[in-house]
């Protein structure tokens, strides 16, 4: 028995993995990782895998980054944790100062949570509570885009719309207004991203016009709907949305958990629309992919609506035990240092051009409907019929074939259903990007060449897919 197999067996005896039908592992080997460095993961048998998805979109400067390691180690020797109610510490103060300085003007307060979904809950609760504190308790509903994803806790699921994750729990979820997404995959032939996004805004305008009196906030993933299949849209939508939210007195929550910290070509995606949200939710790359943490930034106006004598009962009493953990703050500070000193945004621009070129040929593939890209995120949509953009039945799990092939070839490419995507750490080299493009091309060839016969019951939902 190899070392991998031995660890896999011990794992499968006791663990229940996230986002996984555990029965799959009767055929699909689990990959136990012993160590990692830079963009490479290494299993217990010594095989290496290029981490093309940044370990679920968190790792921006590579695994075991010497600068982040050193900062976390140093912090470990002075303070590993202290509760943040009634107490504070240098790393959380420094991090908050820097986030306020780096994010768009007007965001002046930072509240911490310990993962992305929890950060979303904070923003929704704060928005509702703000209106309540302002004497507008009827503003209690949220507007969300179709195909959006904001996490897995109850309220985060309620404002999400990826059926695979939310369908089962619908009876438990609060009701929201759902507006068609500006997703440019569906634009008509010859129509630009900007034009399509602008046209799709009319649905949002109608919803706000009709219901603004009861709406607390609109929540969106700016520019890329990640878990929804890396679907993309133009910044003009965000500019229009900011203007409409102001006009209708509705908060704007931007979920930059996946896209923040350079992924879209600017440090924050909302910079491309020249706007400041009322709530900006950050997580994932915030700590360079080292430790779980989320930050919710908001305005002084929101903060002041809670600031009062205790007996007025206006305080925001939300808390997570690990709020502002010093080790996570240290990892985040080291990550921000790298952004500051290494001209990351510019070097990403060049890497993104290379990524686009390396994958461009796939647009001609008979089973690829689209190759789309925003900054350091590139997605390739496999389809059954190219002309009509007819999706493969989800039960065929074509993406899984790509995943398996990539593992064989030494790459971690984990498609979202039939969408193969590259979202690598920013320390990847052009040669490594070319390798990923080659592996993706081979995987797509293999996956789309197969004739599969899976039984598809008539009652099966059409819009499901494999998890990513």
Nearest to 332 by CA among 65, 150, 107: 65
Look up residue 381 and give its two tokens. 């949509």
* Closest approach of ligand PLP to the CB of residue 422, in Å: 16
- Tell me if 359 sits within 8 A of 440, measured CB to CB: yes
Binding status of residue 416 toward ligand PLP by CB under 6 A? no
Binding status of residue 415 toward ligand PLP by CB under 6 A? no
Binding status of residue 231 toward ligand PLP by CB under 6 A? no
146 annotated ligand binder = no
3-state secondary structure at position 453: coil
* Closest approach of ligand PLP to the CB of residue 440, in Å: 21
Of 110, 159, 220, 257, which one interacts with ligand PLP (CB under 6 A)? 257
Binding status of residue 263 toward ligand PLP by CB under 6 A? no
56 annotated ligand binder = yes
Nearest to 84 by CA among 95, 98, 71: 95
Using the minimum distance from each CB to ligand PLP, give the nearer residue, 321 or 451. Answer: 321
The 119-138 contact track toward ligand PLP, x by CB under 6 A, reads -x------------------
255 annotated ligand binder = yes
DSSP state of 222: S
Using the minimum distance from each CB to ligand PLP, give the nearer residue, 379 or 444. Answer: 379
* Closest approach of ligand PLP to the CB of residue 151, in Å: 3
Nearest to 225 by CA among 249, 254, 262, 187: 254
CA–CA dist 148, 160 (Å, integer): 5
418 annotated ligand binder = no
314 annotated ligand binder = no
Look up residue 71 and give its two tokens. 């900062």
* Closest approach of ligand PLP to the CB of residue 120, in Å: 6
- Specify the stretch interacting with ligand PLP by CB under 6 A; choose among 146-154, 161-169, 236-244, 321-329: 146-154
Using the minimum distance from each CB to ligand PLP, give the nearer residue, 227 or 327. Answer: 227
* Closest approach of ligand PLP to the CB of residue 221, in Å: 5
Taking CB atoms, the residue at the shortest distance from ligand PLP is 116
Gyration radius from the chain CA atoms: 22
Buried-exposed string 173-206: b where 16+ CB fall within 10 A, e elsewhere = eeebbbbebbbbbebeeeeebeebbbebbebbee
Binding status of residue 240 toward ligand PLP by CB under 6 A? no
Buried-exposed string 212-244: b where 16+ CB fall within 10 A, e elsewhere = beebbbbbbbbbbbbbbbbbbbbbbbbbbbbeb
Using the minimum distance from each CB to ligand PLP, give the nearer residue, 53 or 436. Answer: 53
Using the minimum distance from each CB to ligand PLP, give the nearer residue, 156 or 336. Answer: 156
Binding status of residue 183 toward ligand PLP by CB under 6 A? no
- Tell me if 156 sits within 8 A of 121, measured CB to CB: yes
Binding status of residue 226 toward ligand PLP by CB under 6 A? yes
Nearest to 127 by CA among 300, 281, 260, 252: 252
51 annotated ligand binder = no
Look up residue 150 and give its two tokens. 């904001």
CB atoms within 10 A of CB 125: 16
289 annotated ligand binder = no
CA–CA dist 94, 91 (Å, integer): 5
- Specify the stretch interacting with ligand PLP by CB under 6 A; choose among 25-33, 187-195, 205-213, 219-227: 219-227
Give the binding site for ligand PLP (CB under 6 A): 115-117, 120, 149-151, 221, 226-227, 255, 257-258, 283
Which residues are part of a known binding site for pyridoxal 5'-phosphate? 116-117, 255, 320-321
Which residues are part of a known binding site for substrate? 56, 149, 284, 319, 414
């Amino acid at each position: 028995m190899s070392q991998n197999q031995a660890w896999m067996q011990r794992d499968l005896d006791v663990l229940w993995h996230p986002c996984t039908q555990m029965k799959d592992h009767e055929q699909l080997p689990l990959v136990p990782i012993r160590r990692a460095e830079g963009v490479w993961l290494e299993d217990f048998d010594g095989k290496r895998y290029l981490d093309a998805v940044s370990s679920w979109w968190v790792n921006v400067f590579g695994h075991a980054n010497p600068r982040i390691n050193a900062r976390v180690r140093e912090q470990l020797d002075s303070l590993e944790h202290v509760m943040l109610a009634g107490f504070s510490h240098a790393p959380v103060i420094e991090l908050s100062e820097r986030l306020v300085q780096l994010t768009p003007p007007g965001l002046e307060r930072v509240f911490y949570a310990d993962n992305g979904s929890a950060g979303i809950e904070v923003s929704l609760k704060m928005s509702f509570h703000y209106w309540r504190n302002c004497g507008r308790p009827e503003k209690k509903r949220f507007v969300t885009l179709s195909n959006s994803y904001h996490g897995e806790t109850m309220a985060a699921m309620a404002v999400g719309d990826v059926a695979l994750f939310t369908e089962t729990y619908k009876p438990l979820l609060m009701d929201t207004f759902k507006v068609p997404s500006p997703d440019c995959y569906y634009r008509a032939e010859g129509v630009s991203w900007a034009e399509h996004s602008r046209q799709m805004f009319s649905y949002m305008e109608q919803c706000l016009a009709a219901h603004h009196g009861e709406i607390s906030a609109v929540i969106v993933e700016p520019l890329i709907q990640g878990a929804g299949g890396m679907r993309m849209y133009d910044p003009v939508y965000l500019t229009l949305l900011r203007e409409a939210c102001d006009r209708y007195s509705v908060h704007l929550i931007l979920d930059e958990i996946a896209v923040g910290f350079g992924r879209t070509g600017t440090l924050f995606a909302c910079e491309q629309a020249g706007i400041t949200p009322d709530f900006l939710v950050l997580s994932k790359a915030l700590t360079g992919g080292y430790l779980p943490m989320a930050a919710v930034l908001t305005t002084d106006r929101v903060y002041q609506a809670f600031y009062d004598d205790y007996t007025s009962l206006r305080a925001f009493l939300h808390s997570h035990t690990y709020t502002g953990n010093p080790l996570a703050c240290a990892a985040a500070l080291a990550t921000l240092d790298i952004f500051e000193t290494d001209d990351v945004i510019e070097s990403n621009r060049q890497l993104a051009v290379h990524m686009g070129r390396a994958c461009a040929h796939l647009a001609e593939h008979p089973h690829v409907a689209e190759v789309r890209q925003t900054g350091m995120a590139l997605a390739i949509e496999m389809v059954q019929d190219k002309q009509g953009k007819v999706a493969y039945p989800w039960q065929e799990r074509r993406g899984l074939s790509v995943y398996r092939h990539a593992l064989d070839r030494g790459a971690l490419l984990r498609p979202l259903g039939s969408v193969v995507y590259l979202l690598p750490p920013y320390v990847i080299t052009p040669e490594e990007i070319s390798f990923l493009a080659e592996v993706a091309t081979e995987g797509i060839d293999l996956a789309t060449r197969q004739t599969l016969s899976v039984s598809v019951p008539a009652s099966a939902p059409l819009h499901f897919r494999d998890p990513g």
